[in-house]
Amino acid sequence: MKLRKETIKVCVRMRPLLRPYEDEDVWTIDQSRNSICSISNPLLSPPLDLSQISLNSLKERDVRRRYTDFLGTQQFNFDKIYSPSDTSQGIYEQTCKPIVHSVLGGYNGAIFMYGQTTSGKTYTMLGTPELPGVLPCAIRDIFKLISSESDYEFNIWVSYLEIYNEQINDLLSPGSSNLKIKEDKRFGVQIVGLTQHQVWSFDQVIMIMNFGEEHRMYRETSIHEHSSRSHTIFRVYVESVDKQGKRTFGCLNLIDLAGSERLNEFEVKEQEQLGETGHINRSLFVLAHVINKLAEGKQQHIPYRDSKLTRILQQALGGNSLAVIICTISPAGMNFHQTLSTLRFATRAKTVQNDPQINEITDDSSSIQQYKLEIDKLKSELDINNQTLVKIDKQNKELVKQLQIYIDEANTYKEALKNSHIASENSDKSGEIKQLREKYNALVGMFEEEKVKKNLLESELKSQNKKFEEFMQNHKETQKQLEDYLKGQRPVVQVSEGNFIENIVATINTELTKELTGNKIWINKSKELCESYSSEIAALQDKYSIILSKILKEALPPQSQNSENELPNSSNIFQDIHINFTTVLEEFLRSANSSSDLTEIMIEKLKKQHENLSLQIENRYEKARSSLENYYQKQVTRPELDAATITGLTAQHSEQLQDLRNQYENSMQILEETYLDTLKVLDEFLSAEGS
Q: Specify the pairing of strand 181-184 against strand 188-191.
A: antiparallel
Distance of CA 105 to CAs 149, 184, 358, 445, Å?
12, 22, 7, 103
How many CA within 13 A on the CB side of residue 189?
Answer: 20
Q: Specify the pairing of strand 35-38 against strand 27-30.
A: antiparallel
> In whole angstroms, what is the distance from residue 346 CA to residue 302 CA?
18
The per-residue DSSP string of 567-583 comes to -S-TT-TTTTS----HH
Instruction: State which amino acid sits at residue 406.
Output: Y
Query: 346, exposed or middle or buried, with CB in 10 Å at 0-12, 13-18, 19+?
Result: buried
Given phi > 0 = left and psi -120 to 50 = alpha, else beta, which region is 110?
beta
Helices (H), 156-270: 202-214
Helices (H), 329-363: 336-349
> In whole angstroms, what is the distance from residue 325 CA to residue 8 CA?
7
Question: With contact defined as beta carbons under 8 Å apart, do 106 and 359 qualify?
Answer: yes
Name the DSSP class of 94: I
Query: 538, exposed or middle or buried, with CB in 10 Å at 0-12, 13-18, 19+?
Result: exposed
Query: CB pairs under 8 A, 24+ apart, for 185-192?
Result: 187/249, 187/359, 188/314, 188/315, 188/319, 188/320, 189/311, 189/312, 189/314, 189/315, 191/161, 191/312
> In whole angstroms, what is the distance from residue 9 CA to residue 322 CA?
9
Using alpha carbons, select from 330, 348, 349 the residue that is nearest to residue 339: 330
SS3 content of the chain, % helix, strand, coil (to 5): 60, 15, 25
The per-residue DSSP string of 446-509 comes to HHHHHHHHHHHHHHHHHHHHHHHHHHHHHHHHHHHHHHHHHTT--------TT-HHHHHHHHHH
How many CA within 13 A on the CB side of residue 141?
Answer: 21
464 is in an annotated binding site: no
Name the DSSP class of 306: G
Using alpha carbons, select from 160, 191, 158 the residue that is nearest to residue 173: 160
119 is in an annotated binding site: yes
122 is in an annotated binding site: yes
> In whole angstroms, what is the distance from residue 75 CA to residue 343 CA?
9
Instruction: State which amino acid sits at residue 412.
Output: T
Query: CB pairs under 8 A, 24+ apart, for 564-567?
Result: 565/670, 565/674, 567/663, 567/666, 567/667, 567/670
- Cis ω for the linkage preceding 129 (within 30 of 0): no
Q: Specify the pairing of strand 167-170 against strand 75-77.
A: unpaired
275 is in an annotated binding site: no
Question: With contact defined as beta carbons under 8 Å apart, do 23 and 53 qualify?
Answer: yes
116 is in an annotated binding site: yes
479 is in an annotated binding site: no
339 by DSSP, 3-state: which?
helix
> In whole angstroms, what is the distance from residue 564 CA to residue 561 CA?
9
190 is in an annotated binding site: no
Binding site residue list for ATP: 115-122
Binding site residue list: 115-122
